[in-house]
A = this chain, B = another copy of it.
Amino acid sequence: MLEHRYAVIMAGGGGTRLWPVSRKERPKQLIPLLGEETLFQSTVKRLQGLFPLERIFVVTVEDQAREMMQQQPEIPAANYILEPAPRGTASVVGLAAMALHQQDPQASIAVLSSDHFIRNVDLFHYLLRASFDVAEDGYLVVLGITPTNPSTAYGYIQQGQPLVGDYKYPAYQVKSFKEKPNEQTAQQLLRSGDHSWNGGMFIWRADAILGEIRKQMPNLHSALETIRGAWGTSRQEQVLKDTWLKLDTVTVDYGIMEKADCAAVLPAGGLGWSDVGMWSSLFEVLLPDMNGNIATNMNLHLSHETHNTMIYGGGSERLIVTIGVDDTVIVDTPDILLVCKTDQSQKVRDIVEHLKKHGQEKFL
């Protein structure tokens, strides 16, 4: 079965919460946010040993594909599947499943994000292999990230009965998917012990997910069949475009998983996973010093009485000095300086909205 296992990396979004480093022209996954490599490059590297490069596919938009091909030329160009326009993750996983099923009817797929961080790659490999074992029995598997705090930034997955089967790692039926909770509910979910975060990592057989789409999203399914009819022909691009633009924008969670009978969850603790969703999440990803500080991508930081503060430099020769600063994120790019209390870093998005509304294009 191993030769039928594929990875599909989804790389569509912009991500405004890591502004001003993540910008309209340089989305989060395409910048070397955490060091030398871009998040996209790290995502591909993380798959080494699990998938040969020719079985790694990328679904993205045209603008980003060019840059991705430059960053990762070892992936065959034919493995980049271009979305004509963003139409939600349900459409993306459907398109990928159709394309892979067309080329390999026995294909099973791990759907992954291009812009996440995972510290413990060995464990990630182990869990993906275990997930494929379950998925190959027909389940739609989602990795359930063991929560480490009552986050309101993720959807939650409640696990039900253990699956019956000869699996090397425990897997459970999904009892329910829950949308991003409020603070109080998040506390309850954390205490419950049977809820995990939905990190958007799915493993399934191509035919299983296509069957579920047929049941739950017949319009999408018939669109995919139309596209399949032209796939690999000279009409592929035109048919894809025409069909795609008529699709509704729906997430895979809402459109497919929530109502699927055969959804399964594998508890994934200890991965050191982060969606690097906002500046505060870099404290989980980069290792703070004794004072809880992180200084990265910069020349020289001098500090006095500074704690739990992240300085993200613009890669320049600038000297950055902090005195008496606590619990703060400082992001210093060539044209924008952001100083933000760490626990308010989700508000960065509001600033981007404000700039958009006021036509400050050059700062987007």
List residues of chain A with CB under 8 Å of any chain B CB. 20, 300, 302, 304-305, 317-325, 328, 330, 332, 335-341, 343-345, 347-348, 350-351, 354-355, 360, 363
Contacts and interface: CB of A to CB of B under 8 A. Distances in A.
Given A305-B341, A323-B344, A328-B339, 19 more contacts: A304-B351, A318-B335, A318-B336, A319-B363, A320-B339, A321-B336, A321-B338, A321-B339, A322-B338, A322-B340, A323-B340, A323-B347, A323-B351, A325-B328, A325-B339, A325-B340, A325-B341, A337-B337, A339-B339
Tally of this chain's copies: 2
Most buried by B among A320, A323, A332, A354: A323
A58 to B, nearest CB: 33
A319 B332 contact: no
Nearest to A339: B322
Q: Which 9 A-B pairs have the closest CB atoms?
A: A324-B341, A324-B344, A323-B340, A320-B337, A319-B336, A321-B338, A322-B339, A323-B347, A323-B344
Contacts of A323: 338-341, 344-345, 347-348, 351
Nearest to A329: B323
A335 B363 CA distance: 21
A343 B319 contact: no
A125 to B, nearest CB: 38
A321 B302 contact: no
Contacts of A322: 338-340
A360 B339 CA distance: 25
Contacts of A20: 319, 321
B304 A347 contact: yes
